Amino acid sequence: MNRMNKPDNVTPLKIADAERGLRHVFVRDLLLDAHIGVYKHELGSAQPIRVNVDLSVSEAPHGDALDNVVCYATVVDRIKAIVDEGHLNLVETLAERIAAVCLEDERVQTARVRVEKLAVIPEAAGVGVEIERHRPHP
């Protein structure tokens, strides 16, 4: 462990990086209603969640064409589709599914996903999980 209490073999995510040819695509504070949770009071009705996504994307000359970039609107549509699939027990499961669909695009190298429940604990603005997943190296 280093002085920041991180394992020495873990490199902090540098999302945009000119030297490595990476750009940062993000979705901030996406507010949705989701059927999520394991507790009795969470079953049978939707509750508010907040989703944040940070993607580290391989840059390429894009020529100002939407097909040549990772589109944040597409990312949002995919998140909404996952939420609309039905009840999930865990925010961890939702975060993993979001990361997985983001990594389906070969240009996405890293996905950091934060999912928060906003109305579960009255004294907290939000509770949840943040994960980071990397594209496996060939």
**What is the enclosing helix (H) or strand (E) of 94?**
helix 91-103
Q: Which of 18, 92, 108 is nearest to 55 (CA)?
A: 108
HSE-CB of 83 using CA atoms within 13 angstroms? 21
Longest dimension (CA), the chain: 52
Per the annotation, the verdict on 117 as an active-site residue is yes
Q: What is the DSSP string of 24-39?
A: EEEEEEEEEEE-B-SS
- Could you say which of 6, 40, 80, 117 is catalytic? 117
- Show which residues are catalytic: 117
